Amino acid sequence: MIDLKFLRENPDKVRENIKKKFQDQKLPLVDEVIELDKQYRAAITEADGLRAERNRLSKQIGGLMAKGQKEEAEAVKKQVSDSAKRLAELEQLEAELSEKVTKIMMVIPNIIDDDVPIGRNDAENVELKRFGEPKVPDFEIPYHTEIMENLAGVDMDSARRVAGNGFYYLTGDIARLHSSILSYARDFMIGRGFTYCVPPFMIRSAVVQGVMSFAEMDAMMYKIEGEDLYLIGTSEHSMIGRFIDQIIDEKDLPLTLTSYSPCFRKEKGAHGIEERGVYRIHQFEKQEMIVVCKPEESREWFWKLLQNTVDFFRTLDIPVRTLECCSGDLADLKVKSVDVEAWSPRQQKYFEVGSCSNLSDAQARRLKIRVNGEKGKYFAHTLNNTVVAPPRMLIAFLENNLREDGSVAIPEALRPYMGGQTEIRKK
């Protein structure tokens, strides 16, 4: 959510930003919120005037009563009574106008960074850089669930009977590999100075509305029936929500946190054949990184977070590339986002395994996360990035480490977490 004062003073910039995101249907909202804000401030001004007048008249009544001028005092009391009715009307109007303004401001997109490429959708995202040499072996690579099944590592049929489509059982060494990757990611981030956290896996609606747009909320979140609770779609939601209505001392910034959680997503819509198996599912686990920092430091932290993910994948010898999201592909709260994509030898192309995002002060403004600094209070900037999200990451891992005989090599970095195993073979 952008600053209302900024919109009031820079309506053309807000309109231009809406156009850059190809959301022209939202253009009328700028004039609408300006008019509502004008009415709101007029109501406040009138109400403040009435309060001042009420105080003056109250003193006048006391003086008249002291002089025995009861009729005059009663006349002034009537003025106070009439003014109280109008004041009550204005206070109700203020609340209604404030609610309308907030509702509109929640759907006006955040101002994107100047260097964000302009484009309508993810087809116009821009490749930034490649890390590692993509390789295609001279033998055929099976679909990832076939690799897992050959190693007695996945059971999709039983999961379908138990929970429906979009779920899975991981078993044996594949299940252990899944947990090992998460444990390694945890220690990797701790080694980079981040504080490890395990957050609540459910959050209240006030937090949901603070961390994401209404469109994302509808497409992603599972609600607990009969309670004001939602299952988290990523630990970022719970981690940022931790600071709701808080004032952070500037000397404690930046807050650098890495969190583990299961994640639950509706994943509405059809996604195509390459997203069957364990690629796009309703339940998965993830290691995340979150930063809360000063506004002037958020851009530098963005690139640091992105590099952390690239470095993590390279320690496992998985080639990756970074892909900048264009304006039309950015969620409304984000000012900049870069995806990390891993190489798929089977498909001979890259696919998304994580995303790094800078939300400037949008989440902090919604959740009232402020910083107490030398020059006064201000809203913090928040950033998040995926370290790793298996089982999707398992696809890249298995394809890039598969041998012709069907066994899978274990990179040196993961061996301590796999009990010293150097490979996975069907027993």
Q: Which tens digit of pLDDT belongs to each residue from 56-77?
A: 777 776 676 767 776 776 676 7
Residue whose tokens read 């998304």: 352
Which residues lie closer than 8 Å to 288 by C-beta, 6 or more apart? Answer: 234, 235, 236, 239, 258, 259, 260, 261, 384, 385, 386, 387
Amino acid at 208: V
φ, ψ for residue 55, nearest 5 deg: -65, -40
Residue 195 in contact with residue 257, Cβ under 8 Å? yes
Q: Per mean pLDDT, which range of 47-51, 79-83, 99-103, 188-192 is the poorest?
A: 79-83
pLDDT at 302: 98
Residue 141, pLDDT > 60, answer: yes
The pLDDT assigned to 32 comes to 97
Please state which of the ranges 73-87, 203-217, 276-290, 345-359 shows the lowest mean pLDDT: 73-87
Higher-pLDDT residue of 55 and 90 is 90
Q: With a cut of 60, say whether residue 115 has pLDDT above it.
A: yes
Please write the tens of the pLDDT for every residue from 333-358.
Answer: 999 999 999 999 999 999 999 999 99
| DSSP H or E segment with residue 324 | strand 320-324
Show the tokens assigned to 330: 């950015």
**What pLDDT is recorded for position 238?**
96
What is the residue whose two structure tokens read 């020059």?
A: 375
Tell me: the pLDDT tens digits for 376-407? 999 999 999 999 999 889 999 999 999 999 99
Which residues, including other chains, have CB under 8 Å from residue 351's CB and lie 6 or more apart?
274, 279, 341, 342, 344, 395, 396
Residue 214 clears pLDDT 70, i.e. is over it = yes
Task: Please give the structure tokens belonging to residue 256.
Answer: 């650098």
Counting Cα atoms < 13 Å in the Cβ hemisphere of 347 gives 15
Tell me the H-state helices in 68-226: 70-105, 144-150, 156-163, 172-191, 205-211, 214-220
Query: Residue 249: helix, strand or coil by DSSP?
Result: strand
Which has the higher per-residue pLDDT, 385 or 281? 385
Longest Cα pair distance anywhere in the chain, in angstroms?
A: 108
Which of 28 and 73 is assigned the larger pLDDT?
28
Cβ contacts of residue 269 below 8 Å, gap of 6+? 219
Query: Using 50, 70 and 90 to split pLDDT, how confident is the model at 270?
Result: very low
- State which amino acid sits at residue 427: K
Q: Which of 333, 354, 358, 361 is nearest to 212 (CA)?
A: 333
What's the mean pLDDT when you consider all of the chain?
Answer: 93
Domain 122-424 -> CATH class = alpha beta
* Closest by Cα among 81, 93, 90 to 54: 81
Options 1.10.287.40, 1.20.1260.10, 3.40.30.10, 2.40.170.20; which CATH number does 4-105 get? 1.10.287.40
CB < 8 Å & 24+ apart, contacts of 13-22: 13/111, 14/108, 14/111, 17/109, 17/111, 17/112, 18/108, 18/109, 20/112, 20/116, 20/118, 20/327, 21/109, 21/112, 21/327, 21/328, 21/330, 21/332, 22/120, 22/327, 22/328
The whole-angstrom separation of Cα 329 and Cα 94 is 36
d(CA 335, CA 383): 10
How confident is the model over 28-46, as a mean pLDDT? 96
Strand (E) or helix (H) holding 408: strand 408-409
What integer is the mean pLDDT of 68-88? Answer: 75
The pLDDT of residue 427 is: 76
Question: Residue 267 has what pLDDT?
Answer: 76
Evaluate if residue 161 carries a pLDDT over 60.
Answer: yes
Q: Look at residue 108 and give its three-state secondary structure.
A: coil
Output the six-digit token pair for 220.
């992603």
Q: Where are the domains of the chain?
A: 4-105, 122-424
- What pLDDT score does 269 carry? 53
The SS3 assignment for 55 reads helix
Q: What is the DSSP string of 126-171?
A: EEEEEES-----SSPPPPHHHHHHHTT-EEHHHHHHHH-TT--EE-
In this prediction the pTM is 0.90
Whether 291 has a pLDDT exceeding 60, the answer reads: yes
Residue 312 host element (H or E):
helix 298-315
pLDDT of residue 273: 43
DSSP string, 339-406: EEEEEETTTTEEEEEEEEEE-TTHHHHHHT-EEEETTEEEEPEEEEEEEE-TTHHHHHHHHHHB-TTS
* Residue whose structure tokens are 């005037």: 49
CA distance 220 to 264: 8
